[in-house]
Amino acid sequence: MDLSPLQKARYEYSPKLPRMLRHPIEEIEAKEGKATESVSDQDEIKKLFPNTYGMKEVSFQKGTSHAKKRKEVVGVILSGGQAPGGHNVITGLFDALKSASEDNVLIGFKKGPSGLIEDDYIELTKEYVDQFRNTGGFDIIGSGRTKLETEEQFAIAKEVCKKHGITAIVIIGGDDSNTNAAVLAEYFAREKTGVQVIGCPKTIDGDLKNDVIEVSFGFDTATKTYSELIGNIERDANSAKKYWHFIKVMGRSASHIALECALETQPSVCLVSEEVEKKQMSLSDIADQVVSSIVRRAERGDNFGVVIVPEGLIEFVPEVKKLIGELNDIVALKKDEFNAITEWNEKYSFMEKNLTKESFAVFASLPLDIEKQLLMDRDPHGNVQVSRIETEKLLIALCEKKLDLLKKEGKYNGKFSTLSHFFGYEGRCAFPSNFDADYCYSLGYNAFLLISNGYTGYLSTISNLSKSADEWKAGGIPITKMMNLEQRSGVKKPVIKKALVELDGKPFKYFEAHREKWATETCFTFPGAIQYYGPASVCDLPTRTLSLEHEE
C-alpha cells in the first residue's frame, strides 16, 4: 500500500501519556471519591439503573494496584459518527492490554454496535493496529448507529460475550452511544454476567462535557480543520471584496463548534443558537442581526464578510423549535400514515390537519425547499436531520428581502452577492491533532485501568487538559451521573444530558466583548493548517474554548 509522507510519519508518532499513566500498571492505584447521582430526575434514573446508579467517581494515583489478575478479553466498538482520534483510543487500549499481559486479547466488533449483535468481529493484532496509529477515520473496524435498547439485543450480546470469553466491552461514542453503554452495563450487572462496560467520550460537536469531562475527543481537530477553511475563505473574501460567505458548521444540539471557530477566525458575524433561544429571537430577528453588519460594512465600502451559522440554529428559534417538536412527535406517532403519503400536496394537507394552528403558520411561511427538508427521513432517534436543512440559504433569502426593503427606503446602497458553504464531513476524519492523538490514546489506556480494577458503567476520563500532557489526570465517572430524562420519539427516555454553550462562560463572554468590532471592521484571523511537528506552543495548542474556560 502506498503511503503519504505524513501518513508514514504519523505512524511513528509516540502519543504523550499523563505522567500518572506512565507508571507500570501494577503501580497505579484506583482511588474512589464521593458517590454520584444523576444531574436531574434522580428517583426515575435510579429506578431504571438499580445496579449501576450512585457509584463513586474514580481517580488513578501512584500506589499499589488492586487490579484483578486474570486474562482479559476485551471487545471494542466504534459507535456513531466519526471523530478524529478514534483509532488512538483503540491503540491506547491495545497497548495497555498487552502491557499488562501478552495473553490479553482485543476484539474489534465491526460496523458499530451491530457487530456485537451479529458477532461480526476481528481479533486486533499488533501488525493490524499499527497501521492505524495517529490516523483519522474509523476504518480500523468501521462504525454504525445501531441502538442497543431491547431485551432481545441484550440477550444476544450476552451470548456473544460468553462465546468469546469476553470480560469487558469498550464503547467509543457520543451521548447516545454512551447512554447505550450504560443500559448495556445495567443489563450485564443485572444478569450477573461479569462482563464490564466502559465508555469513551467522542463527538466533534463538543456537547459531551461536564465538570469532569472537559472536552470530547475530536472537537480539537475538527474545529481546527474548519477554522483553517474559514480563515482561507476570509482571506479570499478580503481579496475579492465582493462576496458575503454564509458558512454552516457542524453542531446540531449546541454551538460549541461555531463559537470556537469564531474565536479562531474573528468573522463578521457568528450566530450562537443558545443566545437565540435565551433572547427568544425570531428568524426575522436573526436576519436583522446579520443585516446590521452588512449595512455597517457597506457604509465603509466593504461589501463582503463571513457569517458562521451553527448547524442546529433553526431548532433554537422558539417558533421553529415548537414546530420541529410537533413534527417529530407526529411523524413518530403516525409513522405509517405519514410514510404512506407520496404527493407533496397531501403531505402539506396532513401537516395542516395535525399541526397546531401556530406551528402550521410557521411551517407555511417557510420557503418550499425548507418545508420539504423538515419532512425528510428522520435520524435513528426519530428527530429531524437538521444537517439537511439549508439554514445558511434560508438566512441568505431572509437577508435579501430585508436589504431590498432598505434599498427602497434609501437606507442601504451596498451590493450583496453571496456564497454558501457547509463544513461537516471535512472535519470528521482528519489526521488528529497532537492534542487529540495524545488525549485519545490516554482515554483508551485509561479505559483498560478501569476494566482491570473491576469498574462497569463508567466513562473513561482524562482531565486538566489545558495543561501539558504530563499534568493530565486520569480517572472515571459513572455514566448515570450525566443522565436526565428527555422526550424521544414521543416518550421519556434516559439520556446523557447535552452540554450547551454557557452564555455566562468565559468563551462566550470573550466573543460577546469583541463581536461588535468584528461586525463592523475587517478583523479576520487566519489559523492556517494543523501543525504536527515543531514547537509545542504551536503543535500542542488546545482550543481557545478550553484555554479560556480554564484561564487562571
* Residues taking part in catalysis: 205
172 forms bridges with which residues in the sheet? 78, 200
Q: Which three cell numbers stand for residue 104?
A: 490479553
Q: How many CB atoms lie within 10 A of CB 206?
A: 28
Q: Give the span between the Cα atoms of 342 and 42, in whole angstroms.
A: 44
**Among residues 130, 125, 83, which one has the least CA distance to residue 436?**
83
HSE at residue 123, side-chain half, CA atoms within 13 A, is 8
Q: Which three cell numbers stand for residue 349?
A: 394537507
HSE at residue 45, side-chain half, CA atoms within 13 A, is 26
Enumerate the H helices of 251-317 as residue ranges: 256-265, 273-278, 283-299, 313-316
HEC string of 189-220 equals: HHCCCCCEEEEEEECCCCCCCCCCCCCCECHH
In sequence order, the 6+-apart residues with CB closer than 8 A to the CB of 502 are: 274, 508
Sheet of 458-463, strands arranged across: 28-35, 56-62, 473-478, 458-463, 196-201, 168-173, 73-78, 105-109, 121-123
Q: How many CB atoms lie within 10 A of CB 427?
A: 26
Q: Give the span between the Cα atoms of 304 and 10, in whole angstroms.
A: 39
Q: Give the span between the Cα atoms of 80 and 422, in whole angstroms.
A: 20
Q: How many CB atoms lie within 10 A of CB 205?
A: 28
